[in-house]
Amino acid sequence: MRAFGTWVALAALAPSLAFAGEWEFGGELAGELRAFPQEPALDAQLSDFQPSAVVLGDIRWTSDNGKHQLVAVPFYRLDGEDDERTHADLREGYYRYAGNNVDILVGAGKVFWGVAESRHLVDIVNQTDAVEDIDEEDKLGQPMVKVSLLKDWGTIDLFALPYFRPRTFPGSRGRLRFDPVINADDPIYEDADEEWNTDFAVRYSHFFGSFDVGVSGFTGTSREPRFTFSPEGLDANGQLVPIYDQINQVGVDVQYTNEAWLWKFEGIVREGQGDTFAATVAGFEYTFFGVTDGGADLGILVEHLYDGRDEFLAPPTASDNDLFYGARYALNDFQDTSILVGAITDLENGSSSGLVEAERRFGQNWTAELEARFFYNVDEEDLLSVFQDDSVVTFRVTRYF
Amino acid sequence: MPRQTSLLLSLLAATTLSASLPSVAIAQSQDVAAMSEEERRGYEIAARSDQSDNGFGGSVVEAQMILRNAAGQESVRDLSFQTLERENENVGDKSLVIFESPRDVEGTALLSHAQILEPDDQWLYLPALKRVKRISSANKSGPFVGSEFAFEDFTATELNKYTYRYVGEEEIDGMMTDVIERFPRYERSGYTRQVSYIDQEVFQLRRVDFYDRKDALLKTLTLTDYREYDGIWRSHAFSMVNHQNGKETDLVYETYDFSQELDAGDFDKGVLSRIR
């Protein structure tokens, strides 16, 4: 009930602030169609097409002096096939005080830590909204009290996270899922306080010449669940039960920027899920500027992924020893047209997933995106094997307001 | 180009320019005594124009960028610029550019710390992901957000980024101007030379002709609607016409605000994540 108290406090605060300030109302509406060219592996799964629609609101109030802000970013997806993918979330919903050297945020917030492209290892505060996509880029709003100190020697962010958001997963109709289906809503927690265990996190970030550095720590409920693929890991309906352990994790992210080169490293050490283990992402991004008369840029991306976690006592990962390689082509036209092509290949068994993403703006308020994700050369032993019939093409049109 | 252009993106691109600049030592070693008569005269006129901008402190201004292609189709971008004057001659200005439209990039921001001896430091903020990303400042001649402005066009107009040559006088809009050729000293410029027109009354830049690497006329920048703020002059209408592809970009500024008492803390990397 701690969160409830917070909201009461906010509600009491809001009217007194509402005298002088500026309201902004915005948002977006999107229509999305996923197409699955292959037959599903399981009878229960949808075949062919998965249409859906998304509404995202964006409501902001900022005081005249700019120091106080109230923000609400509600999200809702209506999915035509998968009931679990029909879901709502408060992506952001907070009060923020922005002082000269201090920033305080209370409510549901979103933060990003890290520098890598293919995997966001150190980024642990927000839970992944995994029913949205398997790329772990979509995040659920995280209830938090965040205090940031902004100094000329760097930024320190302190987080108290009073409530845990379990990861979302596709339902039985959904593609890109495990078999059996995961019962996302009724997980097992290691801690007796379950989702009310208060997690803590801290991050220091700054730059030193050409080096941008972040150092972070986290103690609390793992955002990644593990599973027991045996009868005791299933509930009464035969569904997989997520298990959320208590973990401690430290992370480091570094980027070295030199001319057209960006060199990137992220590393974590985590305890609490089998033996203490380390995981890393290391690589580079190199950009060829002005490859056409129109001024298009071509970027080359390469990253190596390593993960030393226990195969059975830790959450599953496909990124144990993999190579990501890709290219990003940005036309630098006034529609901001860009294309990303990439793939991740397991260096031990060759299992691969490829990705093509193209996007462009139309007029002032519309964008269109086309994404293709495909799985090839998949080894039966690789985690990717559960997705191997689920290559997918997604088309999305978004109207911004 | 006048320092105010730097506002544009001084930061954005500034990096690139100042990055490749030789160095203060070399820059200051533009030895007036060793110059020819035309070089010395060109340098002195450019220096007088540059000095007219000293002491602006910090400024905040909203602007609209209107991109037009040869067929007349338009695309509009709303931007806000915050600029902090360099602390001393050894560093560059700091600036923060925030996109307000199109809506799909609303809240996207570019923070730049211009340097003299080293490459500029630049960070991009992507609000949808809440991600702060350090970016390369090596891209000088590339287009800025699809416009006819190159990154280098926005660079703080440090005097010593160019060598100069006095060409003559010409009347523009009933105003006498000194015509000065300037030659980039930094690497990777898209230009062999620029022809600048500086008025003889308040020493502001009124027009620049840009010549590409083949020395063909590429673009013309016209600066109008100058207004004075307590001794500091700012153009409020930049119009860049590309003669080779028929496209043009207008940059129209609202009233500048010099009263906000910005300090270095407003340009720390950490402020990016609270923009949106």
User: Which is more confident, B30 or B7?
Assistant: B30
How far are the Cα atoms of A168, A189, A220 from residue A164, in angstroms, in the given order?
Answer: 12, 10, 9
Q: Is the pLDDT of residue B14 over 60?
A: no
Q: What is the mean pLDDT of chain B?
A: 85
How does DSSP classify residue A19? T
d(C-alpha B110, C-alpha B97), whole Å: 5
Residue of B nearest to A147 (CA): B274
Q: Please indicate if any CB of chain A lies within 8 Å of the CB of B87.
A: no
Query: Best mutation site among B139, B213, B251 for testing chain A: the one with the most A CBs within 10 Å?
Result: B139
Query: A364, B141: Cβ pair inside 8 Å?
Result: no
Question: What's the confidence (pLDDT) of residue B8?
Answer: 33
Query: B270, A154: Cβ pair inside 8 Å?
Result: yes
Chain B residues with CB inside 8 Å of A148's CB? 270, 274
Q: Number of residue pairs across A and B with CB atoms under 8 Å? A: 106
Question: What's the confidence (pLDDT) of residue A210?
Answer: 94
For A23-53, how does the pLDDT look when each residue is reduced to its tens digit (9 = 90+)?
Answer: 999 999 999 999 999 999 999 999 999 999 9
pLDDT band of A12, cuts 50, 70, 90:
low
* Tokens 């890991």 -> residue: A233
Residue type, B138: A
Residue of B nearest to A25 (CA): B103
Q: Provide the token pair at A107.
A: 């409510």
Residue of B nearest to A209 (CA): B121
d(C-alpha A94, C-alpha B134), whole Å: 27
Query: B136, A28: Cβ pair inside 8 Å?
Result: no
pLDDT band of B83, cuts 50, 70, 90:
very high
**Complex ipTM tops 0.95:** no
Question: What's the confidence (pLDDT) of residue B109?
Answer: 95
Q: At B43, which helix (H) or strand (E)?
A: helix B37-51
DSSP E strands in A314-391: the ranges are 321-330, 338-346, 352-362, 366-376
Nearest chain A CA: its distance from B191 CA (Å): 14
Chain A residues with CB inside 8 Å of B265's CB? 100-101, 150, 152
For B196-221, how does the pLDDT look when each residue is reduced to its tens digit (9 = 90+)?
Answer: 999 999 999 999 999 999 999 999 99
Query: A289, B146: Cβ pair inside 8 Å?
Result: no
Q: Is the pLDDT of residue B119 over 80?
A: no
Chain A residues with CB inside 8 Å of B69's CB? 334
Contact of B157 with B50, CB cutoff 8 Å: yes
Q: Is the pLDDT of residue A103 over 90?
A: yes
Chain B residues with CB inside 8 Å of A364's CB? 75-76, 101-103
pTM over 0.80: yes
Instruction: Tell me whether strands A211-221 and A338-346 are parallel, antiparallel or unpaired.
Output: unpaired
Q: Is the pLDDT of residue B230 over 80?
A: yes
How far are the Cα atoms of A119, A224, A306, A318, A323 from residue A280, in angstroms, in the given order?
Answer: 9, 16, 5, 13, 12
- Work out the angle at residue A207's Cα, subtended by the Cα atoms of residues A201 and A208, and round it to the nearest 5 degrees: 130
Q: At B8, which helix (H) or strand (E)?
A: helix B3-20
* Cβ within 8 Å of A, B 190-249: none
How far are the Cα atoms of A256, B4, B149, B153 from residue B190, in angstroms, in the given order?
Answer: 26, 21, 11, 10
Q: Please indicate if any CB of chain A lies within 8 Å of the CB of B90.
A: no
Q: Provide the token pair at A192.
A: 């007796």
In sequence order, the β-bridge partners of residue B212 are B191
Question: What's the confidence (pLDDT) of residue B156?
Answer: 54
Listed residue (B199, B196, B194) closest to B172, CA to CA? B199
Listed residue (B31, B152, B159) closest to B89, CA to CA? B159
Residue of A nearest to B135 (CA): A257
Chain A residues with CB inside 8 Å of B135's CB? 257, 262
Q: What percentage of chain A reaches a pLDDT higher than 90?
A: 87
Chain B residues with CB inside 8 Å of A257's CB? 134-136
Query: A207, B121: Cβ pair inside 8 Å?
Result: yes
Alpha carbon A179 to chain centroid, angstroms: 23
